[in-house]
Structure 1
Amino acid sequence: MSFLEQRETKDNPPTSPTPETKMETTPSQSRWLWAYGWMPAWLRKMDRGILALTIVFVLTLPLFTPRIYASDEIKYFSYLHSIFFDHDVDFTNEYSYFYNSDPVKYADFKASVINKLNEKGLPVNEGPVGSAILWTPFYGIAHVAALAGNALGLKSFKPDGFSTPYVWAVTLASLLYGFAGLIFSYLLARNFMPSFWAAFGTITVWLASPVIFYMSLTPPMSHANSLFMISLWLWLWYRTREWRFDKDGKFTPGVRRGSMWLLLGVLGGLTAMVREQDGTVLIVGAVESLFLYWHFWRNRPAPASGGKAALIPPGWLSLFGRNLVFLFGLAFSLVPQFIVYAALNGHPGPSKTVGDKLQFFSLEVPGRLLGLLGDPDHGLFWWAPVLLPALVGLVMLVWRKEFRLVAIVLLFAFFAELYISASFQTWTMKGSFGPRRLIGISPAYIVGLGFLGWWLSQLKTGWKISKRVLVGLATLFIIWNFGVIIQFTTLREGDSRQGLDPARVVVDQFTKVPGKLIDTAERFLFKRDSFYKK
């Protein structure tokens, strides 16, 4: 049940159409909905938030860049070709294909990847297989298209697993998965605020953070898929709960059906196969279960006169059984990854190079945690300033009794992702556009930013901020982010892209970016491959 459906009262009518209500607007709203007059009926009935997201998605399509370039992109893609065509996980020919296409450009790739063998003597591949699994339907369709195109004499349609149809297939798949992830994030956020603010949070985080970069400009990376899987998992987790809080914080317990626990386990495994660190989102289910165990214990029936309280409170066995079902689904869905690891590395675990990067208990981790948030060159809040108020909003949501548990588990999920990222020796992610390992948890940012915007617009004091002002501020964050993207892709090369350098960013935003707008547009239209050079 959505936020608006929960609060459909005489004094607080819904502000957006639901299946049970007709869409009615006030005269002031009509000024902003003039376009409804020419929209077909089915479009007018569409959820306005989803409609807004779809319009923005269409407007961002020119940014879509269908190419496979960077080292990690090649590794994720190579799973498809090697398994589909070679029926193995020896990536020698896949890596050689990209190296031979431009030996100068891929000289570092040859030294650090092709010539670097794993424990089994095969070319190393630290990437998990989840993205390849998500891409498989698209890759299969691309193969059929390549066969047809080749039969018609189209030179770029070679059925070799590398040609244009295959590249378009996986990059388009990531773009669509990323958009689906944003839709699920919106649907999740809509449970805690009006749909306008859920859409506001979704669009702002999308366009004012690294999400747009890794979804549209470098789609073969795993981050759009990561966003999709985490958003889907969180939405399904909340959608299938059986417990409820009312607006006064009164709790009605309940345990979701076993089939839904099983599905959450299976999807949790796939989430971890897209990016291993994203398995931390499953902490949400763990915290939820611990809360329910505590509630059942606290509210266990009082013992009869002279008797003893039951050792196992009612509800524990049912919940424990369903937790086991969840773990079974999780373990079952991870089997493909274990098989791939065993064939690739000689053991059912990731490459030793991954383990060598991780330092879970290092004394340096606390400093890295602070650095991931506030370091001027690598910190989340410097790369995407809009995420600071987003996390503030998520903390504020804790004070809403009916949403407290959700806010707490989302904060747990965020800090779990943050801790894993800080455990990497490569925590700075030099050369990347922002702290990309924290993109997958964007649903938490979306909920927080949307709630903060709604809260500010509802203040009864002089601190109240109108929708127009908040939308204007969001627009400034978006413009700033696009300016940083232009700097990162057109003005910087080599060492200058190893960190943000805020002072340079501020200067270049006003002195160089404006003069680059026309040139950037021309290169996007006619020389797309000239972007994002090492």
Structure 2
Amino acid sequence: MKKNLWIIFIAFVYFAGFFAHALYLKKAVYGDGIFYYSWLRSGVVDHDIDFANEYSHYGVAQPPTPLGYAGNKYSVGPALLWAPLYVWTHTLMMGYGYSLPYELAAGFTSVSLALVGLILLYRFLAKSFSKQASFLAVAGIAAATNLFFYGSLDPVNSHALSFFAATLFLSLLAQKNRSWFLVGAGLGFLALFRLQDVAYALILFTHLGGGRKILIRILLGFSSVFVWQLLAWQTLYGTIFSNPYMFGGEGFNIFRPHILGVLFSPANGLFLWTPITMVGIFGLFWKKSWGYIAVFALELLLIASWSTWRQGASYSGRMFVSILPLLAIGLAHIYAKILKLRFGRQIILYSLTLPLSVLNALFILRFLLNN
């Protein structure tokens, strides 16, 4: 099957999974997605940031802020990307912003951008690897990781969008005549979805030999985009230096990280539930991509140090979805090595990709049946 047909097939599966799941549940907003969606609904329909009515509608709560608002520790980035299609839907329906068409508009945007992220990832990988190795790596990410779950079945969340933002950042960084301002803006855009992804800045350290001019451009670019989150914090909490994740008894303890639990927990351990991610890490070590490994290690430390390191009702390690583009580099490196073998390469390739994809689908089915 030609690559274009595979792309169409993957897109069909992702969209079919989204609509089938949402129509079966008669909703697309639940869990953490409620809080991301509340930024959107409150801003577009109510023209305020008073989430009391949204939280009442969905039956959830958050600790109050110093200004007396219902708190919202979740980032504002998803609402910004969902807004265009949501506003268009609201213009047509003029409803209250809670009905299924509104929720489908947000989810459709996330699924679409997850697929765009896969295309960007392929183009990024193809600059360093063969087209076949790049395609196999992207197919592995699409079918054998938790992107399949959060990019298709549960897209009204931050994860699919953070994956897209990560591929965009890497694409900007890989440009021959790169603009350091745009690279910084890409990093700020990435941080708009999950603040932990500032860890991607570690990749930039190898490029800072050009002096302060590069650093200043990166910082200006970062600030020009991340200012939206700062404004949200200022308006809701009264300061741009707020850390909403420290409210309500939550916090970080970097001296007692639950690293083994995050990676191998029977409940949702990253390596246990999506073992292809472990293959990707192995590939990064084989390639000696220390900058990418450092990003993964820092994100692992942050996630494992958080008081809710179990990540709630998470399919695999959902907080690692934004790291999948880096793991794809490791996968592409391994596939490139396999493709150079004279004998048995097809057997090795299919014995790696297909079983892990089937296993992922079975694990997702089990997760859905139990939740």
TM-score, normalised to structure 2's length? 0.91
Q: Secondary structure at the match of 1:489?
A: helix
Counterparts of 1:327 and 1:349, CA distance in 2: 17
Q: Which residue of 1 aligns with 2:123?
A: 187
Counterparts of 1:138 and 1:281, CA distance in 2: 29
Letter in 2 for 1:322: I
Letter in 2 for 1:369: I
Letter in 2 for 1:326: I
Q: Which residue of 2 aligns with 1:523?
A: none
Counterparts of 1:210 and 1:396, CA distance in 2: 23
Gaps of 5+ in 2: none
Q: Match for 1:129 among 63, 73, 76?
A: 76
2:160 paired with 1:160 = no
2:363 paired with 1:481 = no
Q: Which residue of 2 aligns with 1:388?
A: 278
The structure with higher relative contact order (CA 8 Å, sep 6+) is 2
Q: Secondary structure at the match of 2:132?
A: helix
2:38 paired with 1:78 = yes
Q: Which residue of 2 aligns with 1:347?
A: 239
Q: Secondary structure at the match of 2:186?
A: helix
Q: Which residue of 1 aligns with 2:205?
A: 286
Letter in 1 for 2:80: I
Letter in 1 for 2:274: A
Q: Kindly indicate whether the alpha-carbon contact (under 8 Å) linking 1:215 and 1:223 is maintained by their aligned counterparts in 2.
A: yes
Displacement of 1:119 after TM fit?
Answer: 2.5
Q: Match for 1:459 among 332, 336, 341?
A: 341
Counterparts of 2:259 and 2:207, CA distance in 1: 25
Counterparts of 2:298 and 2:245, CA distance in 1: 22
Counterparts of 2:33 and 2:171, CA distance in 1: 28
Please show how residues 135-214 of structure 1 align to structure 2 within 5 Å. Answer: 135-147=82-94, 159-214=95-150
2:9 paired with 1:55 = yes
Q: Secondary structure at the match of 2:32?
A: helix
Q: Match for 2:328 among 446, 451, 457?
A: 446
Counterparts of 1:474 and 1:83, CA distance in 2: 43
Q: Which residue of 2 aligns with 1:230?
A: 166
Letter in 2 for 1:199: F
Please show how residues 76-115 of structure 1 align to structure 2 within 5 Å. Answer: 76-99=36-59, 109=60, 113=61
Counterparts of 2:246 and 2:117, CA distance in 1: 27
Q: Which residue of 2 aligns with 1:270?
A: 189
CA RMSD after TM alignment: 2.0
Q: Kindly indicate whether the alpha-carbon contact (under 8 Å) linking 2:114 and 2:164 is maintained by their aligned counterparts in 1.
A: yes
Q: Kindly indicate whether the alpha-carbon contact (under 8 Å) linking 1:345 and 1:351 is maintained by their aligned counterparts in 2.
A: no
Q: Secondary structure at the match of 1:96?
A: helix
Counterparts of 1:90 and 1:351, CA distance in 2: 19
Counterparts of 1:387 and 1:345, CA distance in 2: 37
Q: Kindly indicate whether the alpha-carbon contact (under 8 Å) linking 1:457 and 1:465 is maintained by their aligned counterparts in 2.
A: no
Q: Secondary structure at the match of 1:71?
A: coil
Q: Match for 1:432 among 302, 314, 319?
A: 314
Q: Kindly indicate whether the alpha-carbon contact (under 8 Å) linking 1:125 and 1:351 is maintained by their aligned counterparts in 2.
A: no
Displacement of 1:423 after TM fit?
Answer: 2.1
2:278 paired with 1:359 = no
**Larger proportion of helix:** 2
TM-score, normalised to structure 1's length? 0.65
Displacement of 1:87 after TM fit?
Answer: 2.1
Q: Which residue of 2 aligns with 1:21?
A: none
Counterparts of 1:392 and 1:413, CA distance in 2: 15
Counterparts of 1:215 and 1:437, CA distance in 2: 13
Q: Which residue of 1 aligns with 2:219?
A: 327
Counterparts of 1:225 and 1:207, CA distance in 2: 17
CA pair 51-410 structure 1, distance change in 2 beyond 3 A: farther
- Higher Rg: 1
Counterparts of 1:468 and 1:265, CA distance in 2: 42
Letter in 2 for 1:73: G
Displacement of 1:370 after TM fit?
Answer: 3.3
Displacement of 1:375 after TM fit?
Answer: 3.7
Counterparts of 2:309 and 2:251, CA distance in 1: 10
Among the aligned pairs, what percent are the same residue?
Answer: 26
Q: Kindly indicate whether the alpha-carbon contact (under 8 Å) linking 2:28 and 2:104 is maintained by their aligned counterparts in 1.
A: no
Q: Secondary structure at the match of 2:322?
A: coil
1:389-427 deviation per Cα after TM superposition (whole angstroms, max 9, x unaligned): 1111121122xxxxxxxx232222222221221221111
CA pair 385-445 structure 1, distance change in 2 beyond 3 A: same
1:475-503 deviation per Cα after TM superposition (whole angstroms, max 9, x unaligned): 1111111111111111x2xxxxxxxxxxx
CA pair 86-170 structure 1, distance change in 2 beyond 3 A: same
Counterparts of 1:211 and 1:146, CA distance in 2: 31
Q: Kindly indicate whether the alpha-carbon contact (under 8 Å) linking 2:172 and 2:186 is maintained by their aligned counterparts in 1.
A: no
Q: Secondary structure at the match of 1:80?
A: helix
Displacement of 1:196 after TM fit?
Answer: 1.3
Counterparts of 1:145 and 1:388, CA distance in 2: 46
Counterparts of 1:414 and 1:189, CA distance in 2: 18
Counterparts of 2:100 and 2:239, CA distance in 1: 35
Letter in 2 for 1:333: V
Counterparts of 1:409 and 1:200, CA distance in 2: 23
Displacement of 1:57 after TM fit?
Answer: 1.7
Counterparts of 1:61 and 1:270, CA distance in 2: 25
2:4 paired with 1:68 = no
Q: Kindly indicate whether the alpha-carbon contact (under 8 Å) linking 2:36 and 2:79 is maintained by their aligned counterparts in 1.
A: yes
Equivalenced residues, count: 364
Counterparts of 1:52 and 1:378, CA distance in 2: 29
Displacement of 1:468 after TM fit?
Answer: 4.1
